[in-house]
Structures are given as C-alpha cells and as structure tokens.
Amino acid sequence: MAVAPMANPAMPFHPFSPSFPSNSSRLRWLNMTKPSFPVFSCSSAAFDEAPPALLRTEVSLSVGTHLIPHPAKVDKGGEDAFFVSNHNGGVIAVADGVSGWAERNINPAVFSQELMANASCLVGDVEGDPCLLLGKAHAATSSIGSATVIIAMLEKNGILKIANVGDCGLRVLRKGEIVLSSSPQEHYFDCPFQLSSESGGQTYEDAAVNILEVMEGDTIIMGSDGLFDNVFDQEIISTVSEFDGASEIAKALANLACKHSGDKDFESPYSLEARSQGYDVPLWKKILGMKLTGGKPDDITVIVARVNELFVKVQFSFSRLEKAESCAEKGFPFMKVCGLLATIMGMDTLTIYMTSMHVL
C-alpha cells in the first residue's frame, strides 16, 4: 500500500513495543485442544421411558498461517501483522500497515502490530462482534500510522461474522466453490480505507460486514492485499484442492503470491485492475503491442482456517437392554454395548455422553 492519509508531522511519536509474537512464533499462536474420551454417568433411579436423543454440534477452526515480507523489508519482518485465537469458535485477523508512513520516518509496522496486539487482548470483551472489536482495538492503539484490517469471528453455532476496513480480503470455500468473497474498500485505486491515528479517517463504523453460516469442511482464506493482488480466486480454489492441511495451504498460497509478485510478465489481479482504472504503459509502448503487466511486490500474509466439528454430544438414557437395542437399530450400535454394561452393573439408568474433538 503506497498511499497514507494526511498526517500532522508535528504530532509526537509514541514508541510501542507490542507483545505480539515474532514471525517464527506466530505460526504456533493457537492453543492445542486435547481430545477427550466417552464419559459415563450412572444413576440407580428407575427410568421407564428414555428421553429422545440430544445432539449438539459445535464448530471450531483448524488454522495455518504463513507470512512472507516484501523483499525490501525482510530485515524488519514486513509491515503486516495478524493474530489467531481459539476464543469461542475461533478468531482470525490481519492488519496491513500502510507503507506511505515510511516517507515521514514512521515505521508502518508499529501501528499494525499494536492494533493486532490490542485486538487479541480485547477479543473476550466483545462476544461475537468483530466491528466492536475493531473499534475497541483502534481506540486503544496509540502509535502513529494507519492500517487496513479484517477480523473474522466464528461462533460455536457456526455463524461466521466478518468486519473489513480496506483491502485485506477473505474467501470462504465450500466443495470447490467460493460461497463468500469480501470486497475491497478504496477511496481511489491503491488508496484503501484504513484505520488511522489521525482524525477524520475511517472508523469501525465504516467496516464492511458479512455474516455466513459455515459448515463442516468449509475453508476460510484470509490475507493481506499481497495475496489477493497476486493470486486469482481460481488459483486459490485449485491450491486448496491440492493440499489437506491448513498450514500446507497457507504456505502454498503465500509462495504462489510471492512468485507472481516478482513476475513482470504475469497478468495479475493487480495489473488487470490498474488497467481498468486507466493506468497503463506509455502510448509508444502500446503502439508496440505492450501493456501493463506484472505482479505487485508486497508483504504477503495468509491465514487458512478449516471448519471442524469441535464437540458432538450425544446423550441417551435408558433402563432396559431393549432400549439400547432400539438405539442400535437407529444407527447407534454402541448403545447396545452400553445396554449390556448397564445390565451387568445392575443399573436402572445409564447415561452416555459421547465427545468427539479435532486436535489442531
């Protein structure tokens, strides 16, 4: 991103050393969830009629991340920042520091890092509301600068809520098709909406909001514009189909974006958009049949999240072996074994809780 908002150069700079994880530790910033085993609870109370089976499904995210800094910013780690949380069903977010601030001797990475650090600390205070999280994190950020940002929050019931300011992006893939695609917000070409330290800029109220009910097996692709400026949606679909793990997909997409960004002959999404906005090679080159092509070198951040069934709770209560056999006929053969167990133990009622978890 080359264009920053107007700033007051006399405004004091407040240094900040965010507690955001380093590039290497970012890949491991999602707590592991341990698997659990069936739990049995027994009661001696007489029970003539078994209640109907109770099935509750909750979802979570298995997440992989990959970040490749701009070739000229490798020593500083780039200007993108992100965070991943297993709060509720899962939270993922990316912020892209606006590089134009470097022209004023301000490190663009500091603002995006502090913004993400604040968001990660406040995620538990804004249950299921990514817009409010944007607002609180922005208000708590004291560094000078600006950033585009996108946050997606998944509720355990499968509702995914997305808030986006600027040109970071998100796609949701289901069975090889894109079922949700975010749209970039721009003032004009290459000048996106952004949360800024300066007054008069965008706020969380300007965020584009999307809500989608996700399903088991859906794949969420989130990234900075370094991904979406260099990789077409069809390439994303093809890459997702080639790999199983979220980390593998994230790395493959980031590497593909990096490859395209340095290819001067590649007709990238960025070059196509530039030409559509009137940006092209000089007239004499057009006469020679030339046109604006090439990828866009940039920081590239990719987060891939797979939607999993996190917790399935099946509860059956019965007092006789016949009820277990009835459950077995309905597709739960394990219940017959439990019925035998109840008979051997002399229990009138046996309640079974079956838990299935995915380990990240």
185 in the same domain as 83: yes
CA 220 to chain centre: 6
What mean pLDDT, rounded, does the chain reach?
81
267 in the same domain as 131: no
Query: Cα separation of 104 and 124, whole Å?
Result: 35
148 in the same domain as 103: yes
pLDDT score at 337:
57
pLDDT score at 282:
79
* Domain contains 313: no
* Domain contains 27: no
pLDDT tens by residue, 303-348: 999 999 855 555 545 444 555 555 555 555 555 555 555 555 555 5
Q: Contact 144/49 with Cβ under 8 angstroms?
A: no
pLDDT tens by residue, 112-158: 999 999 999 999 999 899 999 999 999 999 999 999 999 999 999 99
* Domain contains 125: yes
Q: Contact 359/34 with Cβ under 8 angstroms?
A: yes
The β-bridge relationship of strands 219-223 and 300-318 is antiparallel
Query: Cα separation of 2 and 321, whole Å?
Result: 72
User: Which of 297, 306, 274, 275 minimizes the C-alpha distance to 225?
Assistant: 297
Average pLDDT over residues 14-38: 35
How many C-beta atoms lie closer than 10 Å to residue 106's C-beta?
23
Instruction: Find the range with the poorest average confidence among 21-25, 62-66, 138-142, 302-306.
Output: 21-25
104 in the same domain as 84: yes
pLDDT score at 292:
78
239 in the same domain as 288: no
pLDDT of residue 219 exceeding 80, the answer is: yes
pLDDT score at 341:
57
Domain holding 288, by residue range, is 263-295
User: Which of 172, 183, 165, 184 minimizes the C-alpha distance to 236?
Assistant: 172
* Domain contains 25: no
pLDDT of residue 24 exceeding 80, the answer is: no
User: Which of 23, 196, 20 minimizes the C-alpha distance to 114?
Assistant: 20
pLDDT of residue 85 exceeding 90, the answer is: yes
Query: Cα separation of 38 and 56, whole Å?
Result: 15
Q: Contact 316/53 with Cβ under 8 angstroms?
A: yes
Instruction: Find the range with the poorest average confidence among 5-9, 237-241, 333-337.
Output: 5-9
* Domain contains 244: yes
How many C-beta atoms lie closer than 10 Å to residue 332's C-beta?
17
276 in the same domain as 245: no
Instruction: Find the range with the poorest average confidence among 46-50, 176-180, 204-208.
Output: 46-50
Instruction: Find the range with the poorest average confidence among 8-22, 254-268, 291-305.
Output: 8-22
Q: Contact 306/219 with Cβ under 8 angstroms?
A: yes
Average pLDDT over residues 230-246: 98
pLDDT score at 291:
77
242 in the same domain as 103: yes
44 in the same domain as 81: no
Ramachandran angles phi, psi of 311, nearest 5°: -150, 115
- In the chain, the largest separation of any two C-alpha atoms, in whole Å, equals 93
235-to-60, 107, 304 alpha-carbon distances in Å: 26, 33, 15
pLDDT score at 326:
55
Question: Is the four-CA dihedral 114, 116, 120, 123 of positive or negative sign?
Answer: positive
For residue 280, name the pLDDT band (cuts at 50, 70, 90): confident
pLDDT of residue 264 exceeding 70, the answer is: yes
344 in the same domain as 198: no
pLDDT score at 127:
84
Query: Cα separation of 55 and 65, whole Å?
Result: 32
96 in the same domain as 226: yes
pLDDT of residue 203 exceeding 50, the answer is: yes
The tally of domains found in the chain comes to 3
What residues contact residue 156 under an 8 Å CB cut-off, 6+ apart? 58, 59, 60, 88, 89, 310, 311
* Domain contains 44: yes
